[in-house]
Amino acid sequence: MMKIQLALDRLTINQAIALTNKVVDFVDVIEVGTSLIKEFGMGSVSELKQAFPTKQILADIKTIDNARYELELCYQAGADITTVMGSAHPLTIEQCIQFAQANNKDLMIDLLNLNAHQKEQLFANADDHLYFCEHISKDEQELGIPRKKTFSRRDDKLRRIAIAGGITIQTLPQYIQQQPNIIIVGSAITQADDPVEVAKELSKHIRGADHE
């Protein structure tokens, strides 16, 4: 079943909790965004986990070095999933995978700016605790750079894919067709005039797609 991940960025912790309370019934994973963690520290992860203990909490720390130390900070704060940049040293990625598995946690590898060959090398690590995130950067979104095709779904059932980067209700159908495991939505919900209605509509489309 496809999941919806709510990305919380450019908010205070209180704003993030208040907004999530409104849409919590329509999302599966709550992402404590990179900017939220940078501004408010691991306390942002702890408070979101305390507020929503039954939801998976993803700490989007985008680790690029110092793997075990940074992941341990996230786990101690209550994170269920953490992120590592696919451009990190292979040893860093290996450490993240091993540490996540040892702690029965999930890991998301961020494929930002990697070429096809680099991605294929990372896909060799596919297992039940690992996601691969295809997305375009916030800077590209804000500059209006057109999104390229992200990935082609193969018969590799072990490979779990997440898609992120400026996804809206209007663009959602093209990503549903690619059958990702997680669709990550941020500003389409967090900056909407009616975030509940948007979250409900996104959920309806995704849940419907699962039964087609």
158: pLDDT strictly greater than 80: no
Q: Cα separation of 111 and 124, whole Å?
A: 14
What is the pLDDT at residue 187? Answer: 93
81: β partners: 58, 106
From the list 191, 143, 193, the residue with the least C-alpha distance to 10 is 191
Does pLDDT of 154 surpass 80? no
Kindly report the average pLDDT of the chain as a whole number. 90
CA 186 to chain centre: 10
Residue 138 predicted with pLDDT over 70 = no
- What is the model's pLDDT at position 3? 96
pLDDT tens-place string over residues 16-50:
999 999 999 999 999 999 999 999 999 999 999 99
Helix%, strand%, coil% for the chain, nearest 5? 45, 20, 35
- β-strands 160-164, 130-135 pairing: parallel
pLDDT of residue 106: 97
CATH no. for 3-210: 3.20.20.70
Taking only the tens place, the pLDDT of each residue in 81-124 is 999 999 999 999 999 999 999 999 999 999 998 998 999 999 99
Section 126-140 average pLDDT? 80
DSSP, collapsed to helix, strand or coil, labels residue 90 as helix
- Higher pLDDT pick, 69 / 126: 69
Element (H, E) at 65: none
Distances (CA, A) of 150 to 117, 122, 134, 161, 179: 14, 15, 6, 10, 12
